[in-house]
Amino acid sequence: MEPFTSVGFTLLGFLIAASSAQFETECYTANGEDYRGQQNQTCLQGGKPCLYWNETFQHPYNTVKYPNGEGGLGRHNYCRNPDGDVRPWCYIADHDDGVYWKYCDIPTCQMPGNLGCFRDSGDPPTLSGSSETSNKLTIQSCISFCRSRRYKLAGMESGYACFCGNDPDYRRQGEAVSTECNHVCFGDHTQPCGGDGRLIIFSTLVGACGGNYTAPTAVIYSPDFPDNYGSNRVCYWTIQVPGSSFLLFNFTFFDIRDATDIVELLDGYTNQVISRFDGRNHPQGLVNISADFAILYFYSDRNNQAQGFAVVYKALRKQDPSVVYLEEKNNQTEAESPSNTEKANLTLNAARSPQIFYVITSSPSKPTHNMPVWTIYALAALLTLTVIAMVAKVLLHLTVKSPRIPTISGSESCNQNASTEPWIIFYRPSTISFFKKKLKNRHGDLSPLVSH
């Protein structure tokens, strides 16, 4: 048995697949535009059932108008947000009071960094730091305002008010239903900015240009997220989780349209670029870095700004059961087959190479075969024919240079009798062919076989 064969790689692939399942979440944008969950009623308890998107032809959003799955539409009745509203919604059959659609109350439909919706009576205020009001308020403008003043929390209320604070007990007045914080931001009607007496609170780490991360798992957003990233941005994030064996990265949201705007993942120790993405090359799966230190780099030029990206990372440590099992299996098979230690090490290194993981289905344990006997005989015959051809060529050269070939003067024709024409042997790998060599006329270059 050879160590760490395709079974080991399949288990490793299963480990990555299991880890990727942990990345899945309901939403990663502020309004749940990328929600791809399976809730099919307006709320989990007593909600209205959603209509199928392939049956809503009387309404603007249906599979006929959007046949390629735009906005997540399809032959299903799951809540979606195809029009960039403040949260996912769906059409319903109830037409009372002219209502034919409703928002979906999805409790987990909020981006990481969105701490939730909270009551704010103002006495005392939920967030007691700096504040401002603006008719151009967006989530990121409020976050940037609070971050510039070194606050950890930013809250939006009634669509135009921004509050900052570090209060650890921001829950003291009670948490409210998320739908009560759906007043649109005055500066961006696709973003929720709280409600009357309701404060939607975010961590000011959201949308920062750079940062240092040491937690086993976290979400990193592009600068200015969920607003469009700015121009001429150069940002670095370091991710270092001591003791981890792998760092897995999953881009749950990626909206970059310019080929000159670049996202890179680098090995933190060597600065080697592991993966590079841009507007033409989007992430297609998990990215693995076989180290405990990585760097995320982002650059934007002056043109074509977009919403950016959200990337989740997760550190896998050696103590994880799946990793321990694979390493024990490798050590066991090494003891059974000492002669294959080098091959096992190479295979394990390949499994830990700083590239995207792929499940290898072909087994590397097939024994190598010796060269067949007929191959040796064929090579010997080929060599013999080559020697014969070379000897024949030398003999013919000696023959055509003998006095029996008449000297051709300037006035004589270059045509010769067929009986005196020299023969040339051409050797090819498969055959030896013979043909008569036609000498050039006197006006061309004389053949080297002709005496001068």
Mean pLDDT of 219-241: 95
Q: For residue 113, which of 198, 175, 205 has the smallest C-alpha distance?
A: 205
Cα–Cα distance, 290 to 274 (Å, whole number): 10
* Structure confidence at residue 22 (pLDDT): 56
Residue type, 42: T
pLDDT digits over 364-380, tens only?
333 344 456 666 777 78
Q: Classify residue 436 as exposed, middle or buried by CB count within 10 Å of its CB (0-12, 13-18, 19+).
A: exposed
* Structure confidence at residue 266 (pLDDT): 97
Q: With beta carbons less than 8 A apart as the criterion, state whether 134 and 146 touch.
A: no
- Check pLDDT > 70 for residue 154: yes
* Structure confidence at residue 133 (pLDDT): 96
Cα–Cα distance, 101 to 93 (Å, whole number): 8
Q: What percent of the chain has pLDDT over 70?
A: 69
- Stronger pLDDT, 162 or 394, i.e. the higher one: 162
pLDDT digits over 259-300, tens only?
999 999 999 999 999 999 999 999 988 999 999 999 999 999
378 C-beta neighbours (distance < 10 Å), count = 11
Q: For residue 156, which of 190, 120, 113 has the smallest C-alpha distance?
A: 120
Q: For residue 29, which of 322, 310, 233, 245 has the smallest C-alpha distance?
A: 310
Q: With beta carbons less than 8 A apart as the criterion, state whether 420 and 435 touch.
A: no
* Structure confidence at residue 391 (pLDDT): 78
pLDDT digits over 190-225, tens only?
999 999 999 999 999 999 999 999 999 999 999 999
Distances (CA, A) of 399 to 76, 244, 261, 322, 423: 88, 79, 73, 79, 10
pLDDT digits over 389-434, tens only?
787 776 766 554 444 433 433 333 333 343 444 444 444 444 433 3
For 61, the 3-state DSSP assignment is: coil
Residue spans of beta strands (DSSP E) within 67-185:
89-91, 101-103, 114-119, 131-133, 153-157, 161-165, 184-185
Q: With beta carbons less than 8 A apart as the criterion, state whether 365 and 8 touch.
A: no
Cα–Cα distance, 264 to 222 (Å, whole number): 12
* Structure confidence at residue 46 (pLDDT): 85
Mean pLDDT of 226-243: 95
Cα–Cα distance, 323 to 326 (Å, whole number): 5
* Structure confidence at residue 383 (pLDDT): 82
Mean pLDDT of 24-28: 73
Is the preceding omega at residue 354 within 30 degrees of 0, hence cis? no
Residue type, 43: C
